[in-house]
Structure 1
Amino acid sequence: MEIFQYEFMQRAFLAGLVVGIICPAVGLFVTLRRMSMISDALSHVCLSGVAAGLLTGVHPVLAASAFAVGGALLIEKLRSTFRTYSELSIAVILSVGVALGAILLGLGNGYNANFMSYLFGSIVAITNNDLKIITLIGLLIMTLILNP
Structure 2
Amino acid sequence: MNANEVKNELPPNYEQLKTAANRTSNWRERLNAVEELGQWKSQKTIDVLLHRMNNDTVYRIREAAFRKLEQLGESVQLPERRKGDLIDGLTKTLVRIKKSLPKDHSFEEFKVKLQKMRLDIYDTYEGELGTGFEKWLEDKWAALVTR
TM-score, length of structure 2 as denominator length: 0.22
TM-score, length of structure 1 as denominator length: 0.22
Q: Counting helix residues as a fraction of each chain, which structure ranks higher?
A: 1
